[in-house]
Copies of this chain bind each other. A is one copy, B any other.
Amino acid sequence: MTVKVLADLMSQPARALVIFCRASGISHEHVPIRITAGDTKTEEYTKLNPLQKVPVIQDGDFVLTESVAIVRYLAREKAIADHWYPKDSRAQAKVDEFLEWQHLGTRAMCASYFLSRWLIPMTKRQAPNEKSVAKALKDMEVCLGQVEQVWLQGGKKKYIAGDEISVADIMACCEMEQPSMAGYDVREGRSILADYMDRVKADLNPHYDDVHQAVYKLRDKFGGTIPGIYPKPE
C-alpha cells in the first residue's frame, strides 16, 4: 500500500521523512504542503492534524503525525533494510537515544537560529534582533559541538549510531542544513561535522540534494541577507 506523505520541504523533519521514504524504498506519494500558503490551516488538513503541523502520513485509514513516531511506524510496517532503524533492541535504543535528544538539541537550536536570524526578520521586514540572534547563535554552537564531540565521538564514529547510516543521521543533517538559509554554514571550521555531513549526503543522494533544492535556492539567493534592510544599505 502506498503511504501518503503530506510534507512541506521547507520543514526540516518533513524533509527528513521524505528522504527516509525515498532512500529506504518505501512506496509513498509525497503530497506537497505549503505552510506559507496556509495549507496547514485548512479545515481538511486540521482534521488530519489538529495541531496544524507537518509532516502527516496517511497509511490507508491510519493517520499519524510527528516525524519520529512516523519513521518508527514505517520501519515496523514496511520492508526496509535493517540499518535504517535496527530491530536489535540495544542497537535500536541507541538510534532512539539520538532521536529523543535532537528535539531539544539540533531541532530546537538550529531552528531558533534560523528563525531569529532570518525568517522572522524577513517576514516582519525588519533587522534581526541582535540580542536574540546572539543567544540563539551561542546555544546552536554549543549544540553543534555536542554533535561532533558526543554523538560522533570526536570523529571516531562514522555515523551517529555506529558504522551504518540510520534515520538518526537523516534527522540530524536535515536540521543542520536549516541555518544555511540564515547565512551560517555549520560545516565551516568543523571538519568532523563537514566530513560526516558529506558522507551522509553521499549515501542519501540523489535524494538528499533533490529534497533540499528549495533550501539551496534560498541559501544561494539570500544567504542570510534581508534585501534593503540587512545588512543596512550604505
Q: Identify the A interface with B (CB < 8 A).
A: 50-51, 62, 64-70, 72-73, 76-77, 89-90, 92-94, 96-97, 99-101, 103-104, 107-108, 146, 149-150
Tell me if A50 and B150 are in contact (CB < 8 A). Answer: yes
Q: Specify which of B50, B65, B89, B101 is in contact with A66 (CB 8 Å cutoff).
A: B101
Known: A50-B150, A65-B101, A104-B107. 14 other contacts (CB 8 A): A51-B146, A62-B90, A62-B93, A64-B93, A66-B96, A66-B101, A68-B100, A69-B100, A72-B92, A72-B93, A72-B96, A76-B89, A76-B92, A108-B108
**Chain B residues whose C-beta falls within 8 Å of the C-beta of A51 in the assembled complex:** 101, 146, 150
User: Do A108 and B97 contact each other (CB < 8 Å), given the known contacts A50-B150, A62-B90?
Assistant: no
Chain B residues within an 8 Å CB radius of A50: 149-150
Minimal beta-carbon separation of A222 from chain B (angstroms)? 26
Q: Return chain B residues, CB-CB under 8 Å to A72.
A: 92-93, 96
* Max count, chain B CB within 10 A of own CB: residue among A64, A89, A101, A103: A103
Partner of A93, one of B69, B90, B146, B149: B69
Q: A100–B67 contact, CB under 8 A? A: yes
- A64-B93, A89-B77, A104-B108 given as contacts; is B69 within 8 A of A99 (CB)? yes
CB neighbours (8 Å) of A66 from chain B are 96-97, 100-101
B residues near A101, Cβ cutoff 8 Å: 51, 65-66
Chain B: minimal CB distance from A224 (Å): 24
